Chains A and B, each alone.
Chain A
Amino acid sequence: MARRTFLDWPVIRQLRGADPTGRGTAVTSERTRRTAPRTAAADGVTDSVCPYCAVGCAQRVAHQDGRVIQIEGSPDSPISRGRLCPKGAASEQLVSFSRRETTVRYRRAHGTEWEDLDLDTAMDMIADRFIAARRRSWQDEDEHGRPLKRTMGIASLGGATIDNEENYLIKKFFTAAGAIQIENQARI
């Protein structure tokens, strides 16, 4: 760093420059001037929506090398006008928090610990169990001979931060399979 001269004294700088009230350029240090926002290095910024409450605040998700590096409120939104609450502002941690699991965990019946299982095997086991549960608990008709065409052996409960498209497929497939106990946080 260059040696400071008399003219670099903040108060002198303030009086000399275009910032006589001392609230802008006059009071920035060399370090401040060199500091760039985290988002400056981003590969891209994606438009998103906050996943917490139902206000639907717009978010801008900055990412770099396939990783989310920052989430901010989008000033474009006519609803949120750039603002986020503590949860929305912390939502970058919903990507990076240390206790997040990124592999399948399996607990066998009567098991005392988690085990590893690969995703493909897990999916196949779930599909088999689904078919078996459906066979075991199928109800063709009620005691009066009226059609039921359903299974009471399968149930589902969804959060209300899963997408419309996801809800649609859950309802579509499970209903076609005869499962009726398909529920959501909206009941709670």
Chain B
Amino acid sequence: MQDFANADLIVIEGSNMAEAHPVAFQWVIEAKKRGARVLHIDPRFTRTSANADRHIPIRAGTDIVLLGGVIRHLLENELYFAEYVRAYTNASTLISEEYGDPEDLDGLFSGYDPATSTYDTAHWAYAGDTEQVARGLPERDETLQHPRCVLQILRRHYARYTPEMVQNTCGISPEDFEHLATALVENSGRERTAVFAYALGWTQHQGGAQMIRTAAVLQLLLGNMGRPGGGVMALRGHATIQGSTDIPTLFHILPGYLPMPTVGEDDFAAYTRKIGMKEQKGFWADADVYAINLLKAWWGEHATAENDWGYHHLPKLTGAHGTYQTVMRMLEDGVDGYFLFGQNPAVGSANGRLQRLGMAHLRWMVVRDFSLIESATFWKDSPEIESGELRTEDIGTEVFFLPAANHTEKAGSFTQTQRLVQWRDQAVRPPGEARSDLEFMVDLGTRIREKLRDSTDPRDRAILDLTWDYPRDAHGEPDAEAVLAEINGRHLTGERAGEPLASFGEMADDGSTMGGCWIYAGVFADGVNQARRRTPGAEQEEIAPAWGWAWPANRRVLYNRASADPAGRPWSERKKLVWWDEEAGCWTGHDVPDFPLTKRPDDPGDPAQGGAAALAGTDAFTMQADGRGWLFAPTGLVDGPLPTHYESPESTVPNPLYTQQSNPTRVTFRSEDNLSSPGASAPGGAVYPYIFTTYRITEHHTAGGMSRSLPYLAELQPEMYCEVSPQLAEEVGLEPYGWATLISARSAIEAKVLVTERMTPLTIGERTIHQIGLPFHWGRGGTAMIQGDGANDLIGMNLDANTQIQNSKINSCTIIPGRRPQGAERGELVREYRRRAGLVDLEHLEVDGAAGAPGAGPDQTGAVHTVRGPEEAAAVPTEESTTKEMRNR
């Protein structure tokens, strides 16, 4: 966060930082005081725009065209940071002859299989001898002239992303485009750096991962990665949403971004080789070590070399098993029990009606929260009870509501958005029967183990052999520090037995060490809870290394080797961060160097050894199998190695680039309750002519469980509303502060009308495009002080194939004056509009309980370059199928 202040240019796109991250925004203001320029690119004019030097309104979902336009500008005019690009990126790498670009294939990359709607990513591989490629030494052309080198591919790929294309697609004037492009060029290079900040305005798209990738490509070309005031900053929305992906409660990964094994992966060595091979460059070469240490932490003395460290205890995936697939399974009575830990899907997840109907199909659910949220009371007062669609007496779901302890009532750690782990001490005991989730889990596990104690069933072995002996205090509360110490890991044998690991470098592959999450090794170094360190900021330099602890190794800027030139000298005095100290013979600087400490800048690397030893002295991207920053991603993404523009499925604008209208790998669920408008693809799309995009406001948090019951916050923002432009209000006949009803293909909701010039109608070709803003914090039912219709009820379960995250940011609707009908008439209104649009009710196909989701399954082809690195889950390659019409879950 503080590093924003080091930037010369801050581009905030897909985020309303001033409102959603107000306290972090002080560093943007700080940067402005130091002379930085701030640009805000967003469909809405917001508090962020008000503090920016310029607000550029954009048509939602066209970010790849805009940033692709800047990439073209850099390449056509030779304005990229050439020395950085040559040394640190894969610009010179040659790509396989099999590669075909969407420019030549009308919107598809080579390797597409229309039967499964998936790609064979082998088509995008690096060129060269297989063994050499495996060692991170593909064919290269250092002159960057070869037609198959990445830079030339990039040049051709973005050749049509002209300022005119930007204007006609994004609704951004050539003048605004020029301003952005020039600002980026002027504020990058040796002396200056620019940073991008984004949030869910990029993530929540079908194609969201690729929007983020576009910024990464751009920042690599500009030489802004790994440098002070540079990078691509993900502004994450929850206290430990970063921690929830590092130490995940996500179906596709284990702690430390190790993938969950998929069916058929029964050979442990093959499993770890798929993550990282011994001969590849960088730190993923030791994937086997990280996996062994995790298994050893879980199964203790029962994890041995003979039984592959308990690897065969792990359940296997058969496709995507994300939260939306699970909802579909619930609707088919395929799920017995559902645990909610501080989560409110009845309001917070897409297609709220299906979420609530799904819960009515469960046998039992456990809701752990502070108050009776909508997900706890759906059986009593949900919109479906109101409409008569559900009857309380008919719902067979048993509900256990267990009161939860809040953040002051338990000790533990959060990992915030810059990977900083911060510990909270316990201030008071939780009231009544409120308990921490930690105590709940320890208690539940202990009870189940006790009940199964005498079981001889082999399936119970994994539970009974688990290490599950956590010390508790006098009140029965487990010691959270003991859990953090297990996550950190320790030596098990030898002289240092019992000692915490100081770093993941101390992890061994012979069972003499264990550690629950390799990237967190060091958080408990020297037996000290490093996350609890609180040396005041005023007593430290700005990077503040003695406040909390950042993974990995307390490093604050990833890939900071790139802050020095190839010879190891800072690019400039002004942007000095980490450099080579010739006298001391090591890397040094203001941050913990992200490089083998004593490896000289001119070290050629030792390909025979693999791993960190194989890195050359200029291989700054130490997690990549070739040591380079990837302009072209040969693996890791399921929808293409380069970002390319598609229209969102409900977009009312035809794709100006290809006849392929939308991302061909997108995931959706076929159901009459999850229909989509055809958008620009069919005349019926005109029934839903307006685009709506959801957002968050300062005074509320997500589904409202932590804000709509707090008197101050409830009073500050009491009502659900929609933001519309004066022109749209005029067109539709909406009265300021009156009511409007919004109707999508899924549902109809009502909202108060806020007519504001903050919403800009955009001119796209001959047409005017109207966008509507909707906050998503409200819901109906439960005991919250304030209630309102939920914006997520309007949204379908339509997912990005890389991340399985829903598209909340571009959906279409119509808007009419007045309140929505009550009772059964509400559903009738929705169906009436569907009929007008010619949407046919689809019957969704049966789930095969055993097989899970079909489709391509895991990417088996790209082992060499597979990155499951410290990116957010959104950017981590998936194991799951990506079928366009997911027939199964």
| Best-buried of A94, A122, A123, A165 by chain B (most CB within 10 Å) | A165
For B655-681 the 0/1 string (1 means CB < 8 A from A) is 000000000000000000000000000
> Are A165 and B337 in contact (CB-based, < 8 A)?
no
> Are B394 and A110 in contact (CB-based, < 8 A)?
yes
> Are A99 and B783 in contact (CB-based, < 8 A)?
yes
* Cβ-defined partner of A155 (8 Å) among B266, B335, B403: B335
> Are B238 and A161 in contact (CB-based, < 8 A)?
yes
User: CA A126 – CA B317 in complex, angstroms?
Assistant: 25
For A89-105 the 0/1 string (1 means CB < 8 A from B) is 11101110101111111
For B32-43 the 0/1 string (1 means CB < 8 A from A) is 000000000000
> Are A165 and B438 in contact (CB-based, < 8 A)?
yes
A88 to chain B, nearest CB (A): 7
Quick check: is A148 within 8 A (CB to CB) of the other chain? yes
> Are B432 and A48 in contact (CB-based, < 8 A)?
no
* Cβ-defined partner of A184 (8 Å) among B250, B298, B400, B548: B250
> Are A156 and B427 in contact (CB-based, < 8 A)?
no
> Are B711 and A163 in contact (CB-based, < 8 A)?
no
User: CA A136 – CA B335 in complex, angstroms?
Assistant: 10
With A129-B363, A166-B438 known as contacts, the answer to whether A88 contacts B326 (CB < 8 A) is no
* Cβ-defined partner of A78 (8 Å) among B417, B544, B702: B544
* Cβ-defined partner of A53 (8 Å) among B237, B395, B438: B237
User: CA A51 – CA B702 in complex, angstroms?
Assistant: 12
> Are A104 and B401 in contact (CB-based, < 8 A)?
yes
* Cβ-defined partner of A164 (8 Å) among B237, B317, B415: B415
> Are B370 and A100 in contact (CB-based, < 8 A)?
yes
Q: Which residues of A contact B395 (CB under 8 A)?
A: 109-110
B305 to chain A, nearest CB (A): 20
> Are A165 and B480 in contact (CB-based, < 8 A)?
yes
> Are A159 and B238 in contact (CB-based, < 8 A)?
yes
For A117-142 the 0/1 string (1 means CB < 8 A from B) is 11100111111111111101111101
With A47-B534, A162-B342, A164-B247 known as contacts, the answer to whether A86 contacts B713 (CB < 8 A) is yes
For A141-172 the 0/1 string (1 means CB < 8 A from B) is 01100111111111111111111111111111
User: CA A119 – CA B325 in complex, angstroms?
Assistant: 32
> Are B403 and A101 in contact (CB-based, < 8 A)?
yes
* Cβ-defined partner of B336 (8 Å) among A66, A129, A177: A129
> Are B338 and A157 in contact (CB-based, < 8 A)?
yes
> Are B412 and A163 in contact (CB-based, < 8 A)?
yes
Q: Which residues of A contact B711 (CB under 8 A)?
A: 93, 97
A135 to chain B, nearest CB (A): 9
Q: Which residues of B contact A143 (CB under 8 A)?
A: 850-851
Tell which of A3-11, A13-21, A30-38, A57-65 binds the partner: A57-65
Tell which of B49-57, B84-92, B443-451, B750-758 binds the partner: B443-451
> Are A61 and B398 in contact (CB-based, < 8 A)?
no
Quick check: is A23 within 8 A (CB to CB) of the other chain? no
Quick check: is A77 within 8 A (CB to CB) of the other chain? yes
User: CA A51 – CA B426 in complex, angstroms?
Assistant: 13
B446 to chain A, nearest CB (A): 9
> Are B480 and A163 in contact (CB-based, < 8 A)?
yes
Quick check: is B402 within 8 A (CB to CB) of the other chain? yes
User: CA A25 – CA B720 in complex, angstroms?
Assistant: 46
A51 to chain B, nearest CB (A): 4
A94 to chain B, nearest CB (A): 5
**Chain B residue, CB-CB nearest to A46:** B427
Q: Which residues of A contact B251 (CB under 8 A)?
A: 180-183
Q: Which residues of A contact B494 (CB under 8 A)?
A: none
User: CA A145 – CA B335 in complex, angstroms?
Assistant: 23
Q: Which residues of A contact B483 (CB under 8 A)?
A: 165, 168-169
> Are A49 and B422 in contact (CB-based, < 8 A)?
yes
With A61-B427, A133-B336, A186-B250 known as contacts, the answer to whether A157 contacts B343 (CB < 8 A) is yes
> Are B804 and A173 in contact (CB-based, < 8 A)?
no
> Are B414 and A56 in contact (CB-based, < 8 A)?
yes
> Are A153 and B406 in contact (CB-based, < 8 A)?
no
Tell which of B21-29, B59-67, B619-627 binds the partner: B21-29
With A161-B239, A184-B249 known as contacts, the answer to whether A90 contacts B712 (CB < 8 A) is yes
> Are A161 and B709 in contact (CB-based, < 8 A)?
no
For B339-377 the 0/1 string (1 means CB < 8 A from A) is 111111100111000000000000110100011100010
> Are A186 and B429 in contact (CB-based, < 8 A)?
no
> Are A46 and B425 in contact (CB-based, < 8 A)?
yes
Tell which of B149-157, B176-184, B458-466, B738-746 binds the partner: B458-466
> Are B517 and A168 in contact (CB-based, < 8 A)?
yes
* Contact residues on B (Cβ < 8 Å of other chain), bracket: 35 or more
Quick check: is B241 within 8 A (CB to CB) of the other chain? yes
With A169-B445, A176-B462 known as contacts, the answer to whether A80 contacts B23 (CB < 8 A) is yes
With A48-B424, A90-B712, A127-B447 known as contacts, the answer to whether A175 contacts B314 (CB < 8 A) is yes
Q: Which residues of B contact A101 (CB under 8 A)?
A: 370-372, 401, 403
> Are A160 and B240 in contact (CB-based, < 8 A)?
yes
> Are A166 and B436 in contact (CB-based, < 8 A)?
yes
B507 to chain A, nearest CB (A): 17
For B396-432 the 0/1 string (1 means CB < 8 A from A) is 1111111100111110111111001111111111011
> Are A185 and B238 in contact (CB-based, < 8 A)?
yes
Quick check: is A26 within 8 A (CB to CB) of the other chain? no
A25 to chain B, nearest CB (A): 27
* Cβ-defined partner of A183 (8 Å) among B249, B408, B520: B249
Quick check: is B442 within 8 A (CB to CB) of the other chain? yes
> Are B806 and A188 in contact (CB-based, < 8 A)?
yes
With A101-B370, A101-B372, A153-B334 known as contacts, the answer to whether A127 contacts B448 (CB < 8 A) is yes
User: CA A132 – CA B326 in complex, angstroms?
Assistant: 19
For B845-883 the 0/1 string (1 means CB < 8 A from A) is 000011110000000000000000000110000000000
Q: Which residues of A contact B325 (CB under 8 A)?
A: 181
Quick check: is B574 within 8 A (CB to CB) of the other chain? no
> Are B397 and A109 in contact (CB-based, < 8 A)?
yes
**Chain A residue, CB-CB nearest to B414:** A49
B615 to chain A, nearest CB (A): 30
With A54-B241, A164-B413 known as contacts, the answer to whether A157 contacts B437 (CB < 8 A) is no
> Are A93 and B712 in contact (CB-based, < 8 A)?
yes
* Cβ-defined partner of A158 (8 Å) among B249, B428, B484: B249
Task: Please give 15 more A-B residue pairs, beta carbons under 8 A apart, in addition to A163-B480, A167-B244.
Answer: A93-B711, A93-B713, A104-B401, A104-B402, A106-B400, A125-B400, A137-B849, A155-B337, A158-B339, A158-B341, A159-B344, A164-B243, A178-B462, A186-B249, A186-B250
Jot down 29 A-B pairs with beta carbons below 8 A, ordered by A.
A49-B414, A66-B429, A77-B537, A79-B24, A81-B537, A84-B23, A86-B699, A97-B371, A97-B710, A97-B711, A99-B784, A106-B401, A107-B398, A129-B336, A146-B264, A149-B313, A152-B329, A152-B849, A153-B334, A154-B335, A156-B249, A162-B240, A163-B243, A168-B487, A176-B466, A177-B448, A177-B462, A183-B251, A186-B248
Q: 10 tightest CB-CB pairs across the interface, nearest first?
A: A78-B537, A56-B416, A102-B432, A163-B412, A159-B342, A150-B315, A160-B238, A78-B544, A133-B336, A160-B241
Residues of A within 8 A of B (CB): 44, 46-58, 61, 63, 66-68, 71, 75-81, 83-91, 93-95, 97, 99-110, 112, 114, 117-119, 122-134, 136-140, 142-143, 146-173, 175-188
